[in-house]
A and B are shown apart, each in its own frame.
Chain A
Amino acid sequence: MENILAQAKRAAEEAEVFMVSAEETPVQFETNRLKHIQSKQSTSAALRIVRQGRLGYASTTEPNDIQNLVDNAVATAQFGMPPRFELPSPVSYPQIEVFDPDIESISIEKMIELGEELIAMVTSHTPDIVCEAVVTKGTISFQIINSRGGQANYRKSIFGLGIEGSLIRGTDMLFVGESQSSCHPLTQPKTVAEAVIQQLELAKNRASAPTKQLPVIFTPWGVASALIPSLMVAFNGKTVLEGASPIGNRLGQQVFDPKLWLWDDPTIAYRPNSRPCDDEGIPSQRTPLIEQGAVANFLYDLQTAALAHTKSTGNGSRGGGLPAPSPSALIIAPGKTTLDEMVNDIKEGLIIEQLMGAEQGNILGGDFSGNVLLGYKVESGKIVGRVKDTMVSGNVYQVLKQITAIGSEARWVGGFVHTPHIYCPSLSVASK
Chain B
Amino acid sequence: MTNIEAIGHQLAEAVKGYSADYIEARLEESQRSHITYLGRELESVGQATAVGGNVRALVRGGWGFVSFDSLSDLPSRIELAVKQARLVGKEESKLAPVEPIVDIVSAEIDKNPLTMPLAEKKQLLDEYNALIWRTPKLQTSIIAYGDSHKKVIFLSSLGSYIEQERSDVILRLTAIAAEGSEVQQVGLSLGSRGDFSSIQGLHQQVEQMAKHAVELLSAPQVKGGEYTVVLDPVLAGVFVHEAFGHLSEADFVYENDRLRQIMVLGKKFGSSKLNIVDSAAIPGLRGSYKYDDEGVPATKTYLIKEGELVGRLHSRETAAKMKEKPTGNARAINYRYPPIVRMTNTYIEPGSASFEEIIGDIKEGVYAKNWFGGTTSMEMFTFSAGEAYMIRHGKLAEALRPVVLTGNVFTTLNNIDAIGNDLEMNQGGGCGKGGQAPLPVSNGSPHIRIRNCLVGGR
Q: How far is the CA of A44 from the CA of B49 in the complex (A)?
A: 10
The minimal Cβ–Cβ distance linking B439 to chain A, given in whole angstroms, is 16
Please list 15 pairs of residues, one from A and one from B, whose beta carbons are closer than 8 Å in the complex, sorted by A's number: A31-B255, A39-B65, A40-B66, A42-B69, A59-B48, A62-B49, A76-B33, A168-B259, A360-B372, A360-B383, A360-B404, A365-B183, A370-B406, A371-B382, A428-B458
Q: Are A393 and B456 in contact (CB under 8 A)?
A: yes
B315 within 8 A of A: no
Q: Which of B79-87, B197-205, B277-285, B419-427 lines the interface with chain A?
A: B79-87
Q: Is the CB of A34 within 8 A of B88?
A: yes
How far, in angstroms, from A329 to B381 measured CA to CA in the complex? 29
Does A244 lie within 8 Å of B178, measured CB to CB? yes
The answer to whether A370 touches B456 (Cβ under 8 A) is yes
Please name 4 further chain A to chain B contacts, defined as beta carbons within 8 Å, in addition to the given A42-B52, A428-B224, sorted by A numbering: A35-B62, A38-B65, A171-B379, A361-B384
- Asked if residues B44 and A321 are in contact (CB atoms below 8 Å), the reply is yes
**B42: which of A79, A112, A430 is its contact (CB, 8 Å)?**
A79
**9 closest cross-chain pairs (CB), A and B:** A357-B382, A360-B373, A430-B224, A369-B456, A57-B46, A37-B84, A242-B140, A168-B258, A360-B384
Q: Is B43 an interface residue (CB 8 A)?
A: yes
Residues of B within 8 A of A42 (CB): 52, 67-69, 336
Within 8 A of A (CB), among B186-229: 224-226
Q: Pick the contact of A40: B87, B336, B381 (CB < 8 A).
A: B336
The answer to whether B374 touches A364 (Cβ under 8 A) is no
Q: Is the CB of A43 within 8 A of B183?
A: no
Where chain B touches its partner, the secondary structure class is strand
Q: Contact size class for A?
A: 35 or more
Smallest Cβ-Cβ distance to A63: which chain B residue? B69
Q: Is the CB of B380 within 8 A of A41?
A: no
Closest residue of chain A to B40 (Cβ to Cβ) is A242
Q: Are A72 and B47 in contact (CB under 8 A)?
A: yes
B115 at the interface (CB under 8 A from A): no
Binary contact readout B234-278 vs A (1 if CB under 8 angstroms, 0 otherwise): 000000000000000000000110110010000000000000000
| Known A41-B69, A60-B50, A244-B140: A31·B338 in contact at CB below 8 Å | no
Residue pair A370, B382 in contact (C-beta under 8 Å): yes
* In contact, B140 and A36 (Cβ under 8 angstroms): no
Closest-CB distance, B297 to chain A (whole angstroms) = 25
Nearest-Cβ distance from residue A158 to partner chain B, whole angstroms: 14
Contact flag A57-B45 (CB < 8 Å), given A244-B139, A244-B140: yes
CB pair B87–A362 under 8 Å, yes or no, is no
CB nearest neighbor in B for A242: B140
- Is the C-beta of A127 less than 8 angstroms from some C-beta in chain B? no
Q: B81-110 toward A: CB 8 Å interface, digit per residue (1/0)?
A: 100110110100000000000000000000
In the complex, whether B185 has a CB less than 8 A from a CB of chain A is yes
Asked if residues A62 and B458 are in contact (CB atoms below 8 Å), the reply is no
What per-residue 1/0 map shows which CB atoms of B348-374 lie under 8 Å from chain A? 000000000000000000000000111
Q: Decide yes or no whether B454 CB sits under 8 A from chain A.
A: yes
Does B379 lie within 8 Å of A173, measured CB to CB?
A: yes
Q: Does A172 contact B (CB under 8 A)?
A: yes
- Select B46's contact among A321, A364, A430, beta carbons within 8 Å: A321
A10 interface contact, C-beta 8 A: no
Most chain B C-beta atoms within 10 Å of own C-beta, residue among A81, A109, A357: A357
Does A252 sit within 8 A of B, measured CB to CB? no
Taken together as a complex, chains A and B put the C-alpha atoms of A361 and B377 apart, in Å, by 18
Q: Give chain A interface residues in 160-191, CB to chain B under 8 Å.
A: 166, 168-173, 175
Contact residues of A between 232 and 248, Cβ < 8 Å to B: 238, 242-247
In the complex, chain A residues 397-432 whose Cβ is within 8 Å of any chain B Cβ = 397, 428-432
**Is B378 located at the chain interface by the 8 A CB criterion?**
yes
Known: A65-B1, A364-B176. A391 touches B44 (CB 8 A): no
Report A83-97 residues with CB < 8 Å from chain B CB: none
A251 beta carbon closer than 8 Å to chain B:
no
- The 0/1 profile, CB within 8 Å of B marked 1, for residues 41-65 of chain A is 1111000000000011111111001
Digit string of A196-239 for contact with B (CB within 8 Å is 1, else 0)? 00000000000000010000000000000000000000000010
Determine how close the nearest CB of chain B comes to the CB of A70; give it in whole angstroms: 11
Which residue in chain A gives the minimum CB-CB distance to B373? A360
Whether A61 touches B49, Cβ cut-off 8 Å, given contacts A242-B139, A244-B183, A392-B456, is yes
Residue pair B185, A362 in contact (C-beta under 8 Å)? yes
Tell me the smallest distance from the CB of B47 to a CB of chain A, in Å.
4
- Does residue A130 face the partner (Cβ distance < 8 Å to B)? yes
Check if B111 is an interface residue, CB within 8 A of chain A.
no
Q: Is B455 an interface residue (CB 8 A)?
A: yes
- Indicate with 1 or 0, residue by residue over B434-458, a CB within 8 angstroms of chain A CB atoms: 0000000000000000001011111
